[in-house]
Amino acid sequence: MSVYTQLSLEQVQHFAKDFGLDIVEIQPIQGGIENTNYFLTAQDNKQYVLTVFEELDKAAASELIPALQHLGQQNLPVAVPLQYDGEAIHFIADKPAQIAPRLAGGHPIPSTVAQVAAIGQALANMHLALQDFPLERENNHGQVWWQKTATTLYQNMSTDDQQLLDQVFRQFEKAQAQYPDRPKGLIHADLFRDNTLYVADQLTGILDFSELNRDELLLDISITLNDFCSNFPDVSLDNDKAQAFITAYQHVRPLTADEKACLNIYLAMAACRFWLSRLQVAERNQAEGRTGSDILQKDPQEMRFMLINRLTQEYNI
């Protein structure tokens, strides 16, 4: 993730000592936009990841721990945070933070068809594993956020961008009204390739559950499918990968007829959601003077192009 909170080795050593760790090296991680992350190397050469939560308070960050423990018990490849004094979340630099084991593997960039199938199956297994899990958590980037952010950004958009927003919201609302059988549950909501790890074609890690919330399962499917099944910089959908993803997912949890009918517009809205969030981050970084090599700012135009593509490219299951 981007490094918003700069930490010294001494600070991390002091923080990690209570977890029973003797840290000898830290390395900042780039790759996302929400939290600060460091790789940690201990005296025994074991490796860990320190996450500093930039947006969540301790209570919100702590909500995730039981869900991760539950997913680990269901044999899903997640990093369950370490604990001391019965808690995983403690403070460093006056911000809530955790330490978790570093999982093996690398990001699937570019993805293979086999890797796509693996994440499709894992996502379905995750949806089923969390189906009855007793966690209610607000979606920081859900449909209320879409509307509010779109309204805020709208006034400074070009006419073409305003028309694009109007089009996708209009079609999305129409589909929701017409096809109501769209199951909800706890979703990852940010399952991009850089939030997964693989060794060859084997999925070894699902990372960063900071966006975990209760929303439509189809939204989670669409977010993941959009990223894994696009051969960037080309944002068009790779049909072979998309079919592999949907087939693997449905082998575990078949989609409803209404979910199938809504898939295309949800793919468009998923792209729109990240277009808006990237625009918002760019605006915030500029307003707060966040600059430098440790600050990653993803290109909003990439998601804008994807949105246009998804509105015009029909994908049939």
pLDDT tens, position by position, 9-62: 999 999 999 999 999 999 998 755 678 999 999 999 999 999 999 988 999 889
Q: Are residues 45 and 93 in the same domain?
A: yes
Is residue 84 one of the residues assigned to a domain?
A: yes
Last residue of a domain, one of 101, 128, 159: 101
Give the DSSP H/E element, type plus range, for residue 65.
helix 64-73
Same-domain check for residues 97 and 117 = no
CB 237 within 8 A of CB 315: yes
pLDDT the model gives residue 200:
98
Question: Which residue, 101, 129, 154, sits at the end of a domain?
Answer: 101
- If asked whether residues 242 and 298 sit together in one domain, one would say yes
Q: How many domains does the chain have?
A: 2
Give DSSP secondary structure letters for 241-266: HHHHHHHHHHHHSPPPHHHHHHHHHH
Tokens representing 139? Answer: 């979606």
Q: Are strands 47-52 and 95-101 parallel, antiparallel or unpaired?
A: antiparallel
- Are residues 92 and 123 located together in one domain of the fold? no
> Which one of 70, 101, 132 terminates a domain?
101
CB burial class (10 A; 0-12, 13-18, 19+) of residue 71?
buried
Residues 204 and 281 in one domain: yes
Domain CATH number, residue 18: 3.30.200.20
Question: Given the structure tokens 């915030």, which residue do they identify?
Answer: 284
Task: Quote the pLDDT of residue 317.
Answer: 77
Phi, psi torsion values for 28, nearest 5 degrees: -65, 145
Nearest to 12 by CA among 45, 46, 37, 44: 37
Do 135 and 69 fall into the same domain? no
Quote the pLDDT of residue 1. Answer: 42
Asked whether residue 229 is assigned to any structural domain, the reply reads yes
124 within some domain: yes
Quick one: CA dihedral 168, 174, 179, 181, positive or negative? positive
- Per the domain annotation, does 4 fall within a domain? no
Would residue 260 count as lying in a domain? yes
Same domain, 138 and 267: yes
Instruction: Supply the pLDDT for residue 282.
Output: 76
Range of the domain at 80: 9-101
Same domain for 96 and 158, yes or no, is no
What pLDDT is recorded for position 123? Answer: 98
Examine the domain organization and report whether 19 and 75 are in the same domain: yes
- Can you list the residues of the chain whose pLDDT is less than 50? 1, 294
Q: Could you tell me the CA-to-CA distances from 78 to 51, 68, 72, 91, 204 in Å, in that order?
A: 14, 7, 6, 22, 8
Is 106 domain-assigned? no
CATH number at residue 303: 3.90.1200.10
Q: Which tokens belong to 30?
A: 């780039």
* Shared-domain flag, residues 27 and 118: no
Q: Tens of pLDDT along 58-82?
A: 998 899 999 999 999 999 999 999 9
166 domain residue, yes or no: yes
Helix (H), strand (E) at residue 204: strand 202-206
Same domain, residue pair 32 and 79: yes
Tell me whether residue 52 is in a domain.
yes
> End-to-end distance of the chain based on CA atoms, in angstroms?
34
Question: Is the domain of 199 the same as that of 270?
Answer: yes
